[in-house]
Structure formats: structure tokens, C-alpha cells
Structure 1
């Protein structure tokens, strides 16, 4: 089979198995197996592939059709212009979280800010902010040791191990200093909504997805805990689930935060909350 025929065949197979963006998935996997860029594929479409090239590709295509996330198969994901290791130890980063980082970057006035990423997962928020602000002091916490191991591997890969410290904490339980910015993309899916999730999302760790019976419990608790760890005028920046913002904005007001407001994601849903304390 030619390379083009392989791409077309894989795309058709993915479409049959209800994989979103089947052609894009096919091109990514073929490029990965052949150690080419996607653009390189277009220059080699007429080339016949050998059995040694086809065998590993067949396995990859089967696994993707069964719902294994593309990012797990590739082993990496691009986030805010950086390449991160990605596997089953932590949630696959979502485009909405890139939006959160972009907004947060625009709000950091002091380039030597002390920043805490709560529920850091693979470390994408903490490490993206550290790369953007070389003088900042950045910490990341998570309850999962597996996720923290992955975050440390990403820090080493990006040359940021000396600047970003990751440690285990259930929210702010083990945090003993104050910060100019606390940012968090915590689990916010309700346990009862498991049946609505795609096969790919369900490959993420449960601890990274489900926030409790209603979904917003962990975010609520962080709002309660954060004032003790925010410097005067410090910012709390949150990514939340669709439909959760109204209740959480009320909690922020009850807890005496100020300059409280929300922002929509690119899809138009209210996804991000911001507030200052003190």
C-alpha cells in the first residue's frame, strides 16, 4: 500500500469507529510511526510502505479505534507552544486550559510573582507560566503521586526542574507559604455524569475528572482555603464546569473576595472565574 492509501484506510476505519477528526488522527499516527512531520507525509504519498512500517501502525490504529487517546499513543501533547509528555498518569490537557493560561499571563504584572498551580496534573499550567515568566517562583501541587512524577518529567524535559517545585498536597493542606497568584483547573465533573463522557475522556484518571456528587465541591473548597495562602491583593484564577459559575461566584462573594468576574471560553460558555483577596 502507498502512504496515501494507508492514511485513507486508517481514516475510514476511524470514521467507522466514531473517532472525531478521523483524517487528522490518521495523519498524526502515520507521521508518528514513520518519524515524519504531517507535512512530510504529503511529499511521500506515493511511496510504498514496507511491512516493517505497516506492522506497528496497524497496532496503533487498532488502539485508537478502541478509544485510546491520540495523545497517549503519540506520547506527547502541545500546550501553549510547548511539548509535554502525556500518558495515563494525568489528564490530557484541554484547549480551554490553554485559554486560562493566556488570560492569567495577561494579568501578571509582577514578573517575580509567586505562583501556585493547584491540581497541577502533568504540570502544563505551572510549567507554561514558568517558561513565560523566568523570574517567577512557581509551585505545583497535586494529590496524585503518579501525576507529580509526570510533572517532574516534563519539568526536566523543558529544563525547568530548578525553577518549578512539585509536591503532594490535597488542595492547600501541605502548602505553607503565600502567593501572588493561585491558579487551578480542578476536577469539576459530577460523578453522576460519567455516562456522558467519551471513551477518550474516560481514559483519564478518575481523580483528575470527578469533583464530587455535584462536580464543584473541590473548587468550592479551594475558594474557602485560598485566602489564607494569598498575599494581599492576590489573584485566584479558576477553570470551572459549564453551569457552575453562578453558584461559585456567589461563594467568592460570601468569602469576601473582591474584583470578582467571569470570562467565557472560545465556545461561549462561562468557563473561567477570577477574584482578588485582601
Structure 2
């Protein structure tokens, strides 16, 4: 699986602080987001869960090859199975969930598993997160902008409230495509802002460069 802009955005954008001791990456893929938060934080435990066989094996290899391998661990399971079997709680859950809801499927079962919402519906993600988060824990995720309101409604039903929203546009004139969301158990005023990735083709904005430059070899 290739590294996508969504995962890089989420891994770079998610607020982290020194109080974090445990983090869970839900639907880790090859482990990019978990590696990014390991680079950015001092959390002692950074777990990941991934259902796909090949992605899981590559995530484990990437973790072991990294400078933070002693803090990283990947479980081979669905998130639903993980929720049922794990008693631990986490200070942060982070997820770039499969969210494509179109009726068609591709010819690749692996691609479908990674990209279509039936692999991890928002309801399952939010209900599971509400049980796994510590008292002051946060959930960070990236979703299509059109799904923002639906995620908010589901979250409120399980006692999670929106705390920060960054809406992402490809260019100044393009439509808003993604929403970066931070949710927590505390109901407070929502911080809302916007991020534009490019001014024109391959001409990245200062905001995007400042956010992601620590993770690209070439920017």
C-alpha cells in the first residue's frame, strides 16, 4: 500500500503533548501513522491494529527497522476483534479509516478491504473508541468532508464531542475534500480552521510545508 496524503496529514496534524503515555493506530496499514507519532512523541506504548495479512507483516517490518521499535507493536486483527479482547485504555486513538462508500468494488479484494467503509464502519470505530479511550483521551481521524456531520452525530451518541476541525482543500479554488477531526469526552467550543495543500501544481503552501516537512525526505 502506498503512502497517501491523508495519512501523512493526520500523522502530522494530530495534537500531541507530553502527557500522552499510550497511543493506538486503528487500521495501521503499513504503519506510517504509528511511526509518525512515535517520531513526534515520547509515548511509552504505541500500538497498532491491522487486519490485512500483507500490510500487517510490512508494518511489523517497518516498526522493527525504525528507531522506535521498542515502543511500537502491531496486532493482527480487526478493530472489532481488538475491542472485544483488549482491556487496556489509550490516551489517543488515531485512524485514517477506510471510508469509500460508493456501490462499486474494484477487482482487488485487498484494495477493497483497505478503501471501503464496510471494512470498518464509522459506527464501529466510534463505539470502539469510546470504550478504549482513557478519561481524558482523544480520537483523531480524517474523513471525507461530506461525512463530517454524520461522524459528529454518531460521536455525540457515544459521548464523544468535536474539539477541533481542520478542513482540507487541494488548492484555493477547489472544493473542500477532507476533514481532520479531533474528538474527546469533554464538550467545549470547537476550534475550526482550514488547510490548503497547493497554490498550484506541486507548489505547496507554506502551511502544508511547515506541517509535513519533518516527514518527507524531499519537500
User: Normalised by the size of structure 1, how large is the TM-score?
Assistant: 0.58
Deviations 1:47-81 (A, max 9, x none): xxxxxxxxxxxxxxxxxxxxxxxxxxxxxxxxxxx
How many Å separate the matches in 2 of 1:239 and 1:108?
16
Give 1:210's aligned residue.
116
Greater RCO (CA < 8 Å, at least 6 residues apart): 2
RMSD of equivalent CA atoms: 2.4
Partner of 1:235: helix, strand, or coil? strand
How many Å separate the matches in 1 of 2:109 and 2:168?
24
Deviations 1:110-138 (A, max 9, x none): 25421000000100001111122244420
Deviations 1:128-177 (A, max 9, x none): 11122244420000112321110011112223322101112321333320
Gaps of 5+ in 1: 1-90
How many Å separate the matches in 1 of 2:62 and 2:143?
25
Whether the aligned pair in 2 keeps the contact of 1:111 and 1:133 (CA below 8 Å) is: no
Give 1:92's aligned residue.
2
Give 2:38's aligned residue.
130
Deviations 1:88-130 (A, max 9, x none): xxx32211221111211xx212254210000001000011111
How many Å separate the matches in 2 of 1:113 and 1:265?
29
Partner of 1:205: helix, strand, or coil? helix
1:229 paired to 2:132: yes
1:155 paired to 2:63: yes
Give 1:243's aligned residue.
146
Whether the aligned pair in 2 keeps the contact of 1:130 and 1:136 (CA below 8 Å) is: no
How many Å separate the matches in 2 of 1:261 and 1:166?
28
How many Å separate the matches in 2 of 1:263 and 1:193?
29
Give 1:275's aligned residue.
183
Whether the aligned pair in 2 keeps the contact of 1:121 and 1:151 (CA below 8 Å) is: yes
Deviation (angstroms), 1:276 = 0.3
Give 1:265's aligned residue.
168
Deviation (angstroms), 1:191 = 4.7
Whether the aligned pair in 2 keeps the contact of 1:138 and 1:165 (CA below 8 Å) is: yes
Deviations 1:215-243 (A, max 9, x none): 9x622211011111100121011111241
How many Å separate the matches in 1 of 2:165 and 2:9?
13
How many Å separate the matches in 2 of 1:135 and 1:272?
22
Gaps of 5+ in 2: 171-175, 187-219
Whether the aligned pair in 2 keeps the contact of 1:115 and 1:139 (CA below 8 Å) is: yes
How many Å separate the matches in 1 of 2:165 and 2:124?
18
Greater C-alpha radius of gyration: 1
Which of 91, 108, 111 pairs up with 1:180?
Answer: 91
Whether the aligned pair in 2 keeps the contact of 1:191 and 1:211 (CA below 8 Å) is: no
Partner of 1:189: helix, strand, or coil? coil
More helix by share: 1
Residues 186 and 164 (structure 1), Cα distance of their counterparts in 2 relative to 1, 3 Å cut? same
Partner of 2:103: helix, strand, or coil? helix
